Amino acid sequence: MGYSIREALAAFRRAPGLAALSAASIGFSLFVFGIFALAAYNVRLTLRQAEERVEIVAYLVDDLDAGQLEVLQNEVRAFPEVTEIRFVSKFEAMRNAVRDLPEFRDVFTDLDVNPLPASLEVRLRPEYRDPESVARVAERIALYPFVEEARYGQDWVEKLDRLRRIAGAVASILGTAFALVAVIIIGTTIRIAVFARRDEIAIMQLVGAADGLIRRPFLLEGLLTGLAGGLLALGLSFLAYLAVDRSLIHIAWLPRTWVAAQVAAGAVLGWLSSGAAVRRHLRAL
Amino acid sequence: MIRFTHVYKEYPRSGLALKNVSFQIQKGEFAFLTGPSGAGKSTVLRLIHMADEPTDGEVRVLGLSSQTIRRRQIPELRRRVGMVFQDFRLLRDRTAADNIAFCLEVTSTRRSQIWPRVQRLLADVGLAAKAGAYPDELSGGEQQRVGIARALANNPVVLLADEPTGNLDERAARGVVELIRSIHATGMSVVMATHDLDLARRYPQYRVIALDEGALVSDTAQPETVRRDGV
């Protein structure tokens, strides 16, 4: 292993230009992917924030007693789709209306009787925020005799769902295309770097080096080149994020797992490409 | 030590390179492999080095058969069969000493043993003073000596030389041949391919195996048994 590490590092010293060029090619191809990931992540985040607002409001009959309310709350809370429920009393509904609609404050305070119904706000788990699930849960809640009506903004939920599907499809297609471009560029770059050292491989074979020993320094070199490219891509992606965040629109930086995946992708692709390129030369003799 | 038994070698593009070649080389023997360009000399050496497989027949080297050898056994065989080339095949970005050390490193020699051995090998081939020189700073003869030192690095029992004097002037060529002869004098078997018949004639004490168009046409070790068809 000591030999492999020494040789891999020595290869960078002997041909620093080629090593830098390889790392830069990998870095820029992963940077393009990183920019795409940044855009996809922020679109996803925005959609998720919009989805957070998906909720069902069950308006309750006026003569509901405390026992019935407790039964209703317990049963709805037990639905597998439901993550959280909140009871809004008639008094709270009026207070909210006065707060949210100040232009009607006088109208509300002049009323002898509070006309606003009590309600139950029902929030669903993220995986059940699609139109079908929301409608299903709303229908089930509406079946209770002390529920007057269950509303959830059907039109808005359907539009949001369509938007989410379109974003998912575009992300899949573009993501695959960008990933393929990165794989091809990285594969070709490493292949050229290995080809430049084909004499070395041939000589190693001629003097009796085992295939594994020939392969190891190249694998390590591919891994390090890919890692350098991945780090370069990460740096460039972060600069792009800062530029957009400070001058155009506030966006979120990628989560740690995505960042790690970007760097690891460079290293793994460098390693795999190197292995494939060396194998081709090993077969030749 | 080396035995060819009815060996045929055919390349997809260039056709039949060897036709029914049979011969045997004993331990400690020095054999010239002669013939014009395209006679099949290099093919014979590649087959001995197990860089190629015969299309038919069997090549047996140091007890290993071309018919049964496994890929993982080939590196071990090559450490015992050193090879020298007409074009030297040195790494241009490494010094003479590094070229030899590289060969020892990739064959898992202990680090502490590498540099003493490199220095001794360079001294053996008369290049102790040129250890730090890069191939481009050496003459052809000197580069070939580095190639020979590299071929000897793993203490082989057979030395194969493919036209080792082909790129050298007469004086350098004579020096390289004398060096190979001195190596042979230590007991090592040598198979040297050359198209230069005069070179082979200068050393009548050594065996000459002549090839032409892939067939073995004469063998001084068995003058009466060889015909043009190699049978």
Q: Which domain holds residue A187?
A: 2-49+161-284
Residue A285 pLDDT level (bands cut at 50, 70, 90): low
Domain stops at, among A122, A151, A180: A151
Same domain? A180 vs A91: no
Residue B227 included in any domain:
no
At B200, which CATH number?
3.40.50.300
Residue from the list A7, A202, A208 with its beta carbon closest to the beta carbon of B75: A208
Q: Do B78 and A3 touch (CB under 8 A)?
A: no
Chain A contact for B108 (CB, 8 A cutoff): yes
CATH number at residue A147: 3.30.70.3040
Q: Do A76 and A33 belong to one domain?
A: no
Give percent of chain A with pLDDT exceeding 70.
Answer: 99
Whether B122 is covered by a domain: the verdict is: yes
Residue B99: inside a domain: yes
Kindly state the percentage of chain A with pLDDT values over 90. 15
Residue A127 has pLDDT above 70, yes or no: yes
pLDDT, tens digit (0-9, with 9 covering 90-100), for A169-205 = 888 888 888 888 888 888 888 888 788 888 888 899 9
Chain A and chain B share a number of CB contacts under 8 A equal to 51
Looking at the structure, tell me whether residues A209 and A250 fall in a common domain. Answer: yes
Mutate to test the interface with B, among A5, A9, A206, A213 (most CBs of B within 10 A): A206
B53 has a chain A CB within 8 A of its CB: no
Do residues A176 and A271 both lie within one domain?
yes
Spatial CB neighbours of B230, under 8 Å, sequence gap ≥ 6? B19, B20, B21, B22, B215, B216, B217
Residues of B in contact with A208 (CB under 8 A): 75-80, 107, 154
Residue A156 lies in a domain: no
What value does the CA radius of gyration of chain A take, rounded to a whole number of Å?
A: 30
- Chain B: residue whose CA lies nearest to A14: B93
- On whether residue B225 sits in a domain, the answer given is no
Same domain? For A64 and A42 the reply is no
Q: Do A62 and A6 share a structural domain? A: no
* Tens-binned pLDDT, residue by residue, of chain B (231 aa): 899 999 999 999 888 999 999 999 999 999 999 999 889 999 999 999 999 999 999 999 999 999 999 988 999 999 999 999 999 999 998 999 999 999 998 888 888 999 999 999 999 999 999 999 999 999 999 999 999 999 999 999 999 999 999 989 989 999 999 999 999 999 999 999 999 888 888 999 999 999 999 999 999 887 655 544 444
B129 in contact with A at a CB cutoff of 8 Å? no
* A216 and A230 fall within a common domain: yes
What pLDDT shows up at residue A284?
63
A186 and A132 in a common domain: no
Six token digits for residue A255:
């989560």
Contact at CB, A285 and B76, closer than 8 angstroms? no
Residue at token pair 């190693």: A204
CA distance B98 to A80: 71
Same-domain pairing of A266 and A241:
yes
Rounded to 5 degrees, what angle do the CA atoms A130, A133, A139 make?
Answer: 135
Task: Give the residue numbers spanning the domain of B155.
Answer: 2-219
Together in a domain, A251 and A186: yes
Indicate the number of domains in chain A.
2
Taking the Cβ of residue A5 and every Cβ of chain B, the question of whether any pair is shorter than 8 Å is answered with no
State both tokens at B182.
Answer: 């001195």
**Nearest CA-CA distance, residue B210 and chain A, Å:** 25
Chain A residues in contact with B76 (beta carbon < 8 A): 208
Domain boundary among A151, A172, A196: A151
Tell me whether residue B231 is in a domain. no
Any domain includes A184: yes
**Is residue B71 a part of any domain in this protein?**
yes
Mean pLDDT, to the nearest integer, of A233-251?
92
The CA–CA distances, whole Å, from B156 to A81, A270, B59, B70, B206 equal: 76, 37, 18, 20, 20
- Residue at B21 is within a domain: yes
Q: Give phi and psi for B222, each to the nearest 5.
A: -140, 65
Residue A112 sits in the same domain as residue A225: no
Tens digits of per-residue pLDDT, A81-108?
888 889 988 888 888 888 888 787 777 7
The whole-number pLDDT of residue A174 equals 85
Domain boundary among A90, A125, A151: A151
Q: Judge whether B183 lies within some domain.
A: yes
A199 found inside a domain: yes
- Indicate the number of domains in chain B: 1
Mean pLDDT (whole number) for A13-17: 82
Per-residue pLDDT, B231: 43
The whole-number pLDDT of residue B230 equals: 44
Q: What is the pLDDT of residue B42?
A: 94
Query: Is the confidence at residue A71, as pLDDT, over 80?
Result: yes
Say if the Cβ atoms of A210 and B72 lie within 8 Å.
Answer: yes
Please tell me which of the candidates A14, A207, A211 has its beta carbon nearest to residue B78. Answer: A207
The set of residues, in sequence order, having a beta carbon less than 8 Å from that of B208 and lying 6+ positions away, is B31, B32, B34, B200, B218, B219, B220
Instruction: Tell me whether residues A200 and B79 touch, CB distance under 8 A.
Output: no
Whole-number average pLDDT of chain A: 86
Contact A208 B91 (CB under 8 A): no
Residues A82 and A204 in one domain: no
The pLDDT of residue B225: 52
| Shortest CA gap B106–chain A (Å) | 5
